[in-house]
A and B are shown apart, each in its own frame.
Chain A
Amino acid sequence: MSLLDSLVRTARRRSPWLFHLNAGSCNGCDIELVACLTPRYDVEQLGIRLEASPRHADIIVVSGPVTRTTLEALQTVYAQVPDPKVVVALGSCPASCNMFAGSPTVVGPLDRIIPVDVYVPGCPPRPDAIVAGIADAVAILCGDVPRPEPTHVPVVADACATGGLS
């Protein structure tokens, strides 16, 4: 590995910027993510910054079961984040739709729509679980840990065009 290569890897490891997308979450996960910025957990100690624009981000943090109304935003944001990028699913909702499963307004779970790399357990997850999950995502981002095989079946890829899932 050349020197430049290892410099880039170190930089990626030490400077992950997040973009948070609320895909129909109940706000529980969102509040816990913001709690990671508080003095107690302070993710800035890991160089993490919550960015306002997906163009600046390395890690997309998604909360919520992906509703019909957020589907298009989710796909747009995923496309807008420049490579390399990692997706972190926050809580039970993106993993399985949680208690919203089967609702006609929900099109999740998340891995039907975009490939997911790390799931953080909890409903909502504890802030330190979120930080640990992001640390796992960073390991994938900088290449320390191989990316999990995508199980992503793009069933919902055309859902925006057709107006939703059947």
Chain B
Amino acid sequence: MTVVRGLISLLVFPGALFALPAGWFMMWLQRKINARAQGRIGPPFFQPFFDFVKLLAKEPVVRPRLQGFLMTVLPLAAVASTLGAIALLPVFPKAGGFSGDLVLLVSLIEVGPLCAVLGGFVSRSLYGGIGASREAVLTLAYNVPFLIALFALVASAGSFSLAGVALAAAWPVRVLALIALVACIPVKLHLNPFSAASAEQEIYAGSTTEYDGPRLALWELAHALEWVALTGLVASLAFPVADAAWPVRVVVFVAVSVALVVVLSFAAASTARLKLAQTARWFLLCGSGIALSALVVAFVRL
């Protein structure tokens, strides 16, 4: 039974069958909102899907064997791990999950950026290298508030399982922790103001500079899935609906995720890119400050 349930959440909902179109939709929505905020029409609805198909159909550039292998495996690993993270999301907090799946989720979410860093370095491009090092610095920086916030949630709920956290974390802690978590999302998704890792005016395409055709398509896929995973994480923690019928829970999950996409997109459209050091400082001071206050509240209430 649990195996079937696991497979369903990996392949159907909130996994591949749901997450792929949802990720493409979120990417489209972000571009569309960005365009509208600038007074433009923006891309057509199926744009990310067509981008993906077109990239898949391009002829791959011939590379040395090991490099070509690594440049295929790393984005694949990012796709797979992000899909795994999506499958763990506590959309139905009472149904699945196991103790400690929070730790697994966090590590799966971290695999994506790690692959991007490695992928940038193995591409042996100067810009890929710079992009990768920026990505590494930013990953270190935002993980401080990210992990503290999650730890505050765990401390407040007294459980290391996602379902436990979703159901039991105290609301003051939860609000503060979620603010810190939401602030971390733009870094992972390369959105303004924390998009120093993919600053196309400075370092071209960052760590994906050397990736072409199908290999780039995999990165795009991983990116689309990251949208679902991160907004989904916040959505499932912010509005845990334990007792409603499953369609209600699905609708709430999707609606909150999409609302989050809208908020993030407008935030990205209205801000400029911070420098690398500024971003790192922001996360180490402000971001961590919010997360630490969540932690303090959690311990005070214990």
* Interfacial residues, chain A to chain B (CB-CB below 8 A): 7-8, 10-12, 14-15, 17, 38-39, 42, 44-45, 47, 51-53, 55-56, 58, 80, 82-84
Task: Please report which residues of chain B, range 31-88, place their CB below 8 angstroms from some CB of chain A when the two chains form the complex.
Answer: 31, 35, 38-44, 46-47, 49-54, 57-61
B216 within 8 A of A: yes
B213 within 8 A of A: yes
Contact A11 B204 (CB under 8 A): no
Question: What chain A residues lie within 8 Å of B49 (beta carbons)?
Answer: 11
Contact B44 A52 (CB under 8 A): no
A7-B53, A47-B50 as given contacts; A56 in contact with B42, CB under 8 Å = no
B110 within 8 A of A: no
- Select one of B31, B38, B210 contacting A39, CB under 8 A: B38
Contact B51 A84 (CB under 8 A): no
- Apart from A15-B54, A82-B60, A82-B213, what 19 extra A-B contacts exist at CB < 8 Å? A8-B53, A10-B50, A11-B50, A11-B53, A15-B47, A17-B51, A38-B40, A47-B43, A47-B50, A51-B205, A52-B200, A55-B211, A56-B208, A56-B212, A58-B58, A82-B58, A82-B59, A84-B58, A84-B59
Question: What chain A residues lie within 8 Å of B213 (beta carbons)?
Answer: 82
Interface size on B, residues (CB 8 A): 33
Contact B44 A14 (CB under 8 A): yes
B231 within 8 A of A: no
Q: How far is the CA of A42 from the CA of B36 in the complex (A)?
A: 11
Q: Is the interface of B mostly helix, strand, loop or mixed?
A: loop
B236 within 8 A of A: no
A10-B50, A56-B216 as given contacts; A45 in contact with B204, CB under 8 Å = no
Question: What chain A residues lie within 8 Å of B47 (beta carbons)?
Answer: 14-15, 47
Contact A45 B41 (CB under 8 A): yes
* Interfacial residues, chain B to chain A (CB-CB below 8 A): 31, 35, 38-44, 46-47, 49-54, 57-61, 127, 200, 204-205, 208-213, 216
Q: How far is the CB of B199 from chain A (nearest CB, A)?
A: 9
A51 to chain B: closest residue by CB: B205
Number of A-B residue pairs, CB cutoff 8 Å, is 84
Question: What chain A residues lie within 8 Å of B57 (beta carbons)?
Answer: 8, 11-12
28 contacts between A and B (CB under 8 A): A7-B53, A8-B57, A11-B52, A11-B53, A12-B57, A15-B47, A15-B51, A17-B51, A42-B40, A44-B31, A44-B40, A44-B43, A45-B40, A47-B43, A47-B51, A51-B205, A52-B209, A53-B205, A55-B61, A55-B209, A55-B216, A56-B208, A56-B211, A58-B54, A58-B58, A80-B61, A82-B59, A82-B60
Contact B43 A55 (CB under 8 A): no
Question: What chain A residues lie within 8 Å of B38 (beta carbons)?
Answer: 39
A14-B46, A47-B43, A84-B58 as given contacts; A52 in contact with B35, CB under 8 Å = no
Q: How far is the CB of B166 from chain A (nearest CB, A)?
A: 38
Interface centre among A10, A52, A83 (most CB of B within 10 A): A52
